[in-house]
Structure 1
Amino acid sequence: MPKATHSPEASEVDSLLKLVTSRGAIEFDHEREGAWIEVIRKMDEVYSDLLRYEVDLEHKNAELEEAQAFVTNVIESVSDILIVCDAKGSVQQVNSAFQRTLGRINDEIVGKKMADIIDAADNAKLMSLLKPRGTSDVVDGELRFSTDGGSSDLFAINSSPRHDHRGRFIGVVLTGRPIGELRRAYEALHKAHHELQRAQRQLVEQEKMASLGRLVAGVAHELNNPISFVYGNIHTLTRYRTAIVAYIDAIHGHTGDDDLAALRKKLRIDDILDDFGPLIEGTMEGAVRISEIVKNLRRLSFSRLGEVERVNIERLINTAVLWAVRTKNVRVDVQIEVDPGLWISGNEGQLHQVIVNLVENAIDAMRSTASPRLVVSAARRGNEVLVRISDNGPGIHKDHISHIFEPFFTTKQVGEGTGLGLWISYGIVREHGGELSAVNEPNGGATFFFLLPAV
């Protein structure tokens, strides 16, 4: 059989096939290398992300541990007992205060049922503290706990519900402290409250005594004039009595007519007889004025609360303003404008105190005013009587006007006022069915006013 020989065409085909095969292998190697490079790059990115996530996770774990340590420290530092229970009433966590109360360590308490660590007689109370409820439903109760020595003191318990992120009830948090401690705290608070009330009463009484002192000073000034007048008249009448007795003794001694005429002229008997009438009238007038002042004092005494009478506003204002101005001993232009026939029902002594306080405050406010002017007016407004006390001083500071009726608030220097005058006046007006208010006038000065039911 003849040998197979390669033709030129066949050789060319083989050469072409070899070239194609070699090029395909080269291209395949290049594609495989690129794929591996891409895979390696992706692995590097994933690894970098894993490292970053790990660092972040470590930071988060550190923050979580710090937060947990903080919460644990806070819970342990609380002096009240704290018990965390699940929805079935099993203890999940307690603080040191509760461990000391029971005389047991944490492992001996956690996992137990609440019913097993309280006094058996308090089971019914426990149910109301553990029952499921809304987020804001807080329940109060009282429990005794079982200890190695028997039962603990009675504790006041506050039960707050716990819910998960879906709003499902998952348990409660119980906090409490011994009733004895609460009772001692309440007794201390009660004692402090009584001390405060006693101090307040003393200050009010001091303010009343101060008002009484100002009233007495005004009365003393008012009494001084008629008493001096009566005293002078009595002194004159005493001298006249000596002369008349001497003249009568001469008559009874059968003295001659000429001698009697000379003695009558010497003793000025005729002038004495003419002066008797004015002297007696003046003395009577002084006595009447003293009697009126004494009557006013009786009306203006600090009567019992609730004691009411018909009060003449005109007489009340005239007396109060007169005495208040006299006690201050300053020159003030006082204008009193009162409608006639105004009457109210109330305690005249207390209302007198209100007018005196307001007038004295107005005078004090006008210390730096060149020409102080005080206007006190009263007029009917329907079924009420409006009383106004106005001055031309600097007015009330805008930051003070909302506080002037508060107890102990004062703008006066130390020792000049207790800050109770306006507060007491405010209370008296309210007890009489009115409301004491204050405003600044547009042209300067301040006005205090109140309305009271008219009779």
Structure 2
Amino acid sequence: MNDGSRSRRPARPSPLDDPQRHRLLGEEARLEGVEEDTWIDVIQKMDEVYSQLLRDEVALEEKNAQLEQSQQFIFSLLSAMSDVLVACDHRGAIEETNAALRELIGRSDAELRGTSVYTLLADEAAVARLRAIVEQRTPTPSRAGEAVEIELLDAQGRAVPVDLNCTPRLDGNGRRVGTVFVGRPMAEIKRAYRELREAHEALKRTQQQLLHSEKLASLGRLVAGVAHELNNPISFVLGNVLALQRYGQRLSQYLEAVHAQADAAELAALRRSLRIDHLLADLPSLIAGMLEGAQRTADIVQGLKRFSAVDREEHAAVDLNAVIERAIHWVCKGTAQGFSVQWTPAGPCTVSGSTGQLMQVVMNLIQNAYDAASAQPPREGSAPALWIESELTGERVRVSFRDNGPGIPEAALSRVFDPFFTTKPVGKGTGLGLSISYGIVERHGGTLTAGNAAEGGAVFVLELPLARGTQP
């Protein structure tokens, strides 16, 4: 087929020019019974037929040019496709391929045309699957086709997984005359997915490390308060142990007299002087006090272990009120001594989640409120303060944290939850607390928002879904 750029041939002269026409007219004049008008009509018809032939030839050349352009367009499309393409007849003989397939398997168009499509496959299982598609005899085949993953042999003889879409090719009568296969080699895609999965796992590990590091940083700020809290039960136990030590000495002295078989009067006097009856009455309360102090110490240590342990994303029923009370206690006993916190619970509130993670969120919000409220000189008659209020609405609980600090600058409102963004002085904050808290709340199915209260100060609102079966 030509390229459509050939020059148009010059218009042919009429089959009868004027001299010829006069000669014919002269000759016909000699024919008896034929009028001159008849000859003129014949000549005009011949001219019309010839003109129509010229027009048909021009139209044919234009159609040929358009057909060649269409073929060039289709060829350019096949060449530009990154997916492999194979078209075969109903017996599996290859009729057409594209450049992507030929580059993949390392064979030319001449080598492929007319050969069996099954020679491109890597194993017999792929041949069987493809043969079932090519040689099926469905009366009314669907144009949707079907997808199949098979392996082709590349130029080096290696098996390459390809995701093929197999579509029937129909003739003008709707009968199946072959199959068209279009597919994409999956090796690069699978490698990209594997790298993406590894990067995602690395990101999750890094995020978990950041979460744990921020938690330990919060725990470090609370060491003083925790030490003070542990000091009370330990001192109580220690005082009781010293009293038991004295009681033990008196009991030993009295028992020695008993074993020495002292008379009754001497034993009675010794019993009064050593206050044995008072000692025996005091022993149960001493033992109970030590048990209470030991249990209190164990509870504090267990709470610290739950808070500092690496979370395993295990969710259970959590008493949110108890979490908030414990967080207030720890922060106020630690770095925020003298911080006024007014806590107004709405009633029993149980959510589903991780106690340690929710404790970290609440402690971070309370600590940030103290840092903000104490960073500026206190207003006359005011001290750093925080108001915590909860509200049960439908299937969710809403807890607001409002401080009396300077509030959040408008320029920083949209960035307060960004990683490493902080308004604190250098060395006072990592910029990860709110970002990690936001992620924790989001994983618990809740929301955490920030804003400024109308009466002044910043306000953070924590919303969480209530645990099933606990909705008011």
Q: TM-score, normalised by structure 1?
A: 0.54
Q: For residue 466 of structure 2, give the secondary structure of its aligned residue in structure 1.
A: strand
The whole-number CA distance in structure 2 between the counterparts of 1:37 and 1:324 is 116
Cα distance per residue 1:158-181 (max 9 Å; x no partner): 142144466543322234577xx7
Match of 2:74 among 56, 68, 77: 68
Partner of 1:450: 464
**Equivalent residue number for residue 5 of structure 1:** none
Q: Any conservation in 2 of the 1:386–1:450 contact (CA below 8 Å)?
A: yes
Shift of 1:195: 3.9
* Structure 2 residue aligned with 1:274: none
Cα distance 1:315–1:110, how it changes in 2: closer, same or farther (>3 A)?
closer
Call closer, same or farther: CA 1:202–1:43 in 2, change over 3 Å: same
CA distance in 2, matches of 1:359, 1:115: 70
Task: Check if 1:139 corresponds to 2:168.
Answer: no
Matches within 5 A, 1:339-358: 339=346, 348-358=355-365
CA distance in 2, matches of 1:327, 1:44: 110
Deviation at 1:197? 0.9
Whole-angstrom CA distance in 2 between matches of 1:145 and 1:299: 56
The structure with more radius of gyration: 1
Is the Cα contact below 8 Å between 1:84 and 1:91 reproduced in 2? Answer: yes
The residue that corresponds to 2:96 in the other structure is 93
Partner of residue 189, structure 1: 193
Q: Distance in 1 between matches of 2:124 and 2:397?
A: 67
- Change in 2 beyond 3 A, CA 1:110/1:381: closer
The answer to whether the 8 Å contact 2:398/2:463 transfers is: yes
| Alignment partner of 1:198 is 2:202 | yes
CA distance in 2, matches of 1:364, 1:29: 120
**CA 1:30–1:187: 2 relative to 1, 3 Å:** closer
In structure 2, the residue corresponding to 1:190 is in which secondary structure? helix
Aligned to 2:179: 172
SS at match of 1:135: coil
Contact conserved, 1:379 with 1:387, CA < 8 A, in 2?
yes
Task: Please say if residues 117 and 145 of structure 1, whose CA atoms lie closer than 8 Å, have aligned partners that are also in contact.
Answer: yes
Q: Secondary structure at the match of 2:167?
A: strand
Q: Are 1:160 and 1:172, in contact at CA under 8 Å, matched by a contact in 2?
A: yes
Q: Tell me the distance in 1 between the aligned counterparts of 2:48 and 2:335.
A: 98
Q: Distance in 1 between matches of 2:310 and 2:69?
A: 71
Q: Residue deviations 1:254-274, cap 9 Å, x none?
A: xxxxxxxxxxxxxxxxxxxxx
Which of 384, 387, 410 is residue 375 of structure 1 equivalent to? 387
Q: How does 1:21-170 map to 2 (within 5 A)?
A: 53=59, 57=63, 60-61=66-67, 63-75=69-81, 78=82, 81-96=84-99, 98-99=101-102, 105-115=108-118, 121-122=124-125, 123-130=127-134, 131=136, 133-142=141-150, 153=159, 155-156=161-162, 158-164=164-170, 167-170=174-177
For 2:222, what is the secondary structure of its paired residue?
helix
1:159·1:172 contact (CA, 8 Å) conserved in 2?
A: no
The 8 Å contact of residues 93 and 114 in structure 2, kept in 1 or not, is answered as yes
Residues 163 and 169 in structure 1, CA contact (< 8 A), matched pair in contact too: yes
8 Å CA contact 1:396, 1:440 repeated in 2: no
Q: CA deviation at 1:326?
A: 8.3
Q: Distance in 1 between matches of 2:190 and 2:330?
A: 48
Aligned-residue offset at 1:212: 2.2
Matches within 5 A, 1:404-443: 416-417=431-432, 419-427=435-443, 429-430=444-445, 435-436=446-447, 438=449
**309 and 153 in structure 1: CA distance in 2 versus 1, 3 angstrom threshold:** closer
Task: Give the match's secondary structure for 1:134.
Answer: coil
Per-residue CA deviation, residues 139-195 of structure 1 (Å, 9 max, x unaligned), is: 314356699x9x7636546142144466543322234577xx72x763563354234
Aligned length: 351
Contact 1:441-1:447 at 8 Å conserved across structures: no
1:219 to 223, 237, 247: 223
Gapped regions of structure 2 (runs ≥ 5)? 1-34, 236-292, 424-428
- Is contact 1:86–1:172 with CA below 8 Å preserved after alignment? yes
The answer (yes or no) to whether the contact 2:223–2:334 under 8 Å persists in 1 is: no
Matched residue of 1:420: which SS?
A: helix
Alpha carbons of 1:391 and 1:85: their partners in 2 closer, same or farther (altered >3 Å)?
Answer: farther
User: Match of 2:178, as an amino acid?
Assistant: G
- Deviation of 1:329 after TM superposition, in Å, equals 6.6
For the residue of structure 2 that corresponds to 1:88, the secondary structure is: coil
Any unmatched runs of 5+ in structure 1?
Answer: 1-27, 232-286
In structure 2, the CA distance between the partners of 1:337 and 1:360, relative to structure 1 (3 Å rule), is: same
State the match for 1:209 in structure 2. Answer: 213
Once the 2 structures are TM-superposed, how far is the Cα of residue 129 of structure 1 from its aligned partner? Answer: 3.0
1:216 Cα deviation after fit? 2.1
| TM superposition score normalised by structure 2 | 0.53
Quick check: 2:342–2:386 contact (8 Å CA) kept in 1?
yes
Cα displacement (A) at 1:201: 1.5
Deviations 1:40-90 (CA, angstroms, capped at 9, x unpaired)? 998899699669846854763463254134124225xx4x65321123322
Percentage of matched positions with identical amino acids = 16
Shift of 1:206: 1.5
Q: In terms of mean alpha carbon deviation, does 413-422 or 81-90 score higher?
A: 413-422
Secondary structure, counterpart of 2:462 in structure 1? strand
Relative distance call for 1:411 and 1:109 in structure 2 (3 A) is same
2:438 is matched by which residue type in structure 1?
L
SS of 2:206's equivalent?
helix
